[in-house]
Structure 1
């Protein structure tokens, strides 16, 4: 196996890779007002979600996050500034390895928390933005399979958080991406409404 075939092994590497794919979809978006697969959201709302909840999470854990442009004004600038700031946190061992306490996830390092809840969220919402805007919406099948397996053990907690819709039934022999989308409450066959 070559180095290029190896999966990213650290939270910083995983974020860099997953955020770069999302950034490509951000730059490929030509209409920010198109509906997204999450009910009530549009393409701009996908970026707004990712660029607002994570800084709020960090603030609740006592970590400062530098102010960034608003996705309401400029989704591209908002994403570029936000993701660079996240990467800077993860690339700084003193920050990444610092313990944080959060009432929802307990005690862990900032890097572990970011990897578990934020980077995963970016990965999932990449499909939302890509599907809404007609871009490549294929997801890494190994990551999809791993997420489905990992989430299955905490499904009750996930559903009770209000962050995930009810499961969407998919065929038993569905590929990992379809299984993941159905598990998190997305309709894998969703397309934007016509007109």
Structure 2
């Protein structure tokens, strides 16, 4: 395997573990993402997996819906994306994205793979799980988070209803790096 596929697998395993740990009565809990429940967070991740397939003219495989079975829907979406990452030709296929031309594996790495890290925190916070983000992930994401272009914070800039990052949440400069990262990503690290 390559580094991108390995990183995806590690991130997907962590996110899937959080989904598996949600108790039935917690799916309607509010999350740090405005207007999203815990179920909506998983729905977004499943939808983003589908977005990674569209350049190939593919859709998500038939599976349970996020409404019926969030874990099953995530596992099916994950298998669809892993099929691209493990196919050297598909993984290297270049495609146009809102941020320029990149390979499919780079697009997956930059979008849905990274998304699972931050949305894993959202899901954990919404459902009372351990919300510690791997310090290596925090360190990896920190440099780019410090220079998020304003267009990435503009609702609808990448299509109707799409919000990439919310407005920055001010966090003390001496706060832990995870909290400062979350603030740059539009999250209130104190959300309960």
Q: What band does the TM-score fall into relative to the shorter chain?
A: 0.7 to 0.9
Match of 2:115 in 1: 121
Residues of 2 paired with 1:17 and 1:114: CA distance? 14
User: Which of 15, 18, 21 is the aligned partner of 1:22?
Assistant: 15
CA shift, 1:9, in A, is 6.3
CA shift, 1:57, in A, is 4.7
User: Which of 75, 82, 102 is the aligned partner of 2:77?
Assistant: 82
Match of 2:169 in 1: 168
- CA RMSD of the aligned region, Å? 1.7
Deviations 1:31-64 (A, max 9, x none): 21111111111111011011113313531x2441
Gapped runs of 5+ residues in structure 1? 1-7
Q: Aligned in 2, Cα 1:62/1:84: closer, same or farther, shift over 3 Å?
A: closer
Q: Is the 8 A contact 2:52 2:107 kept in 1?
A: no
Residues of 1 paired with 2:122 and 2:21: CA distance? 13
Write out aligned runs for 1:47-58 (5 A): 47-58=42-53
Q: Aligned in 2, Cα 1:126/1:63: closer, same or farther, shift over 3 Å?
A: same
User: Which of 80, 87, 94 is the aligned partner of 1:99?
Assistant: 94
Match of 1:130 in 2: 124
Deviations 1:123-154 (A, max 9, x none): 11000001111111100123213312113233
CA shift, 1:86, in A, is 1.4
SS in 2 for 1:37: coil
Gapped runs of 5+ residues in structure 2? 158-162
Count of aligned pairs: 182
**Which 4+ stretches in 1 moved above 3 angstroms?**
none
SS in 2 for 1:129: helix
CA shift, 1:113, in A, is 0.6
Residues of 2 paired with 1:181 and 1:9: CA distance? 28
* TM-score when normalising by structure 1: 0.86
Residues of 2 paired with 1:86 and 1:57: CA distance? 7
User: Which of 21, 41, 65 is the aligned partner of 2:36?
Assistant: 41
Residues of 1 paired with 2:165 and 2:47: CA distance? 18
